[in-house]
Amino acid sequence: MAYGLLFDYLTGQCIEAYKYFGAHFESREVKEIISIPLKKDPSRTKKSSRKKLIEGVVFRLYAPCATDVSVIGDWNNWDPGIHKMNKVDESGVFEIFIEGLHNYSFYKYHFKNARGEYVDKADPFAFLSEYRPGSCSRLFNINGFIWHDAPYLKQRSRNFDAPMSIYEMHLGSRRGKVDGRNLSYEEIADYLIPYLKETGFTHIEIMPITQYPFDGSWGYQATGFYSVDSRYGNPMQLMSFVDRMHQAGIGVILDFAPVHFATDPWALKDFDGTPMYEYGNEHMYSPWGSCQFDLGKDPVRSFLMSAMRYFVDYFHFDGIRVDAVSNIVYWDGNKNNGENTGATEFIRRLNGKMHYADQSVMMIAEDSTDFPGVTKPLEYGGLGFDYKWDLGWMNDTLKYYALDPIYKKYDHNKLTFSMAYFFSENFLLPLSHDEVVHGKGTILNKMWGDYDQKFALVRNLYTYQFAHPGKKLNFMGNELASWDEWNETKSLPWELKRFPKHDSVSRLVRDLNLIYRKESAMHYEEYNPVHFNWLMVDNKNDSVFAFERRVGDSHLVFIFNMTPNYYESYDIGITREGTYTEIFNSDKDVYGGSNAYNGLDVMSYYWGPENKPHKISVKIAPFAAMIFKYAHKNGEEIKEKKEGK
């Protein structure tokens, strides 16, 4: 079994390398020589043997160009002469079993590298690592956690026809430190679960929690790709975090960065004296100054695929968000440099194997390129992701909302263009952490206008995001409408909840989540163009947009006013004769608006704008966003059928 796994690892086909490499607690049966007294003469003895179980740790290291390899740790006073490792395979695998070790012991590997230098390296497969500025690996037995999420896993899916509203978060800064220390995984779950249940999010996506030395990298430049971030606890504590989320019905997605790693000399860089994990040419360093993984090397492929599978297997994560796919598909992230075919083959292999191992696990691409077929199935020549971040939608939309309304008619296409390409991929609409840092301003700051107009536009924007086809993602704090950019060193400004303007935005996000989850038109078969129809798309002079989404009995009409103009009665063309009920209006006072909403049902009439067969006349407040639901035919009352019946 081990040799088969090793062969797969060396040929780039392994997704379970964590079961072989690293430091594993195990019991071994040994023969013990004992002396047994003779029955006739008890003063005399005879030699015999018996089987005995001993507890210890087996260490395995892959380092092809290393020699004179030892395990050094706090149990042997860091003496490289005590526990020499045996070379058990000519490919460069070293192994040793050491009896009597315990959780949390510190260790490293000591060996002579390809240049003849003795170095101390952290274990690439360590399950726990020392908190910075320490650099040691630590022993931890990852087996034995008792899970309680079987009902959740039984019904888990990739959510193609289900609502998926993701709350992206950085674990350390949502509440910040308490008494100078980070909250543990369990403590974070204590306050996070009630909040997510209240606000209606279906999933969380946590920024990278593989061990990383520099806080300012937010986890995107890691050193330990199997090590759970020790800032917040140990692997069992993370398992508890995910288990409790699942028991509350909340999915958990892990942000993972397989493109690059930190350059610290005790980690992966120049591991055995050769570029074992990184490129050995001009592509060695990324635009961020980190080392780029050589995704064309088979052992590197196995290393990264296994790391992602490890978090799904042992921690029950529901999906993996793969960071910086643009830097995978193109050399150095530049389309002009051409496709990195070794890296795209890695992605296809990763997605194929992850889905083969568990068809309910999502694979999500954070990709800013127009590389074709990112979410197309492998059998049709695609990369095999389930979802792709629509960064084009995000950029165009935020630019449009920042415009002076006078000039919006000249950039009308920024809001309509996304639907021209939307059905080419399974897109996810992100308003992520990248948009609220580094001087970009917060979502609220990006909006045009004065104080009240900015809030009105934020409410409009969030409604537009939920109305638009595609899964949703919002970074923590978006729902607070904060003026201050996110800072990983401090807590979100929760004191804003005391102010009605800010608290009302949280209420709006909650209500949008509830409507999104209830109305099948907003999530069922949303990648099928038959369910989407523009009602008003060319009205650039008024900058009023309208579209409908319809699935079965769920038929919704969405209307957006992108200017400060007020309309007491505005005609919107529709396709279906009947009576419509306004189920949401961003200008209601509970959301901080002026309360200019449509309190009574509106009936349709013949002939509408843009060649529509019918129309409804509605009141539209400045910068308002509205959702109308088809109720019944004019003059009739029908009971709405429950979804799915």
DSSP sequence for 435-464: GSSTTS--HHHHS-SSHHHHHHHHHHHHHH
In 203-361, where do the E strands start and end?
Answer: 203-206, 210-211, 224-228, 251-256, 260-261, 291-292, 319-322
Q: Is 323 helix (H, G, I), strand (E, B) or coil?
A: coil
Q: Give the active site residue among 229, 255, 270, 366.
A: 366
Neighbours of 524 (CB within 10 A): 19
425 catalytic per annotation: no
Alpha carbon of 574 to those of 363, 550, 583: distances in Å?
Answer: 37, 12, 17
Neighbours of 318 (CB within 10 A): 26
C-alpha angle 87/92/93, rounded to 5°? 55
Q: Is 242 helix (H, G, I), strand (E, B) or coil?
A: helix
C-alpha angle 517/523/526, rounded to 5°? 175
Quote the CA–CA distance of 35 and 47 in Å, as a whole number. Answer: 5
- Residue 199 makes CB contacts below 8 A (sequence gap 6+) with 167, 479, 506, 509, 510, 513
- Whose structure tokens read 């409790």? 244
437 phi, psi to nearest 5 deg: -140, 170
* DSSP for residue 281: S
Q: Give the active site residue among 323, 435, 519, 526.
A: 323
Q: Is 291 helix (H, G, I), strand (E, B) or coil?
A: strand
149 catalytic per annotation: no
- Asked if 358 and 294 count as a contact pair (C-beta separation under 8 A), the reply is no
Quote the CA–CA distance of 57 and 440 in Å, as a whole number. Answer: 49
Q: Taken in order 466, 470, 476, 482, is the CA torsion positive or negative?
A: negative
- Asked if 555 and 527 count as a contact pair (C-beta separation under 8 A), the reply is no
- Asked if 15 and 354 count as a contact pair (C-beta separation under 8 A), the reply is yes
Picking from 227, 209, 226, the residue whose alpha carbon sits closest to that of residue 218 is 209
Quote the CA–CA distance of 395 and 457 in Å, as a whole number. Answer: 16
> Could you list the active site residues?
323, 366
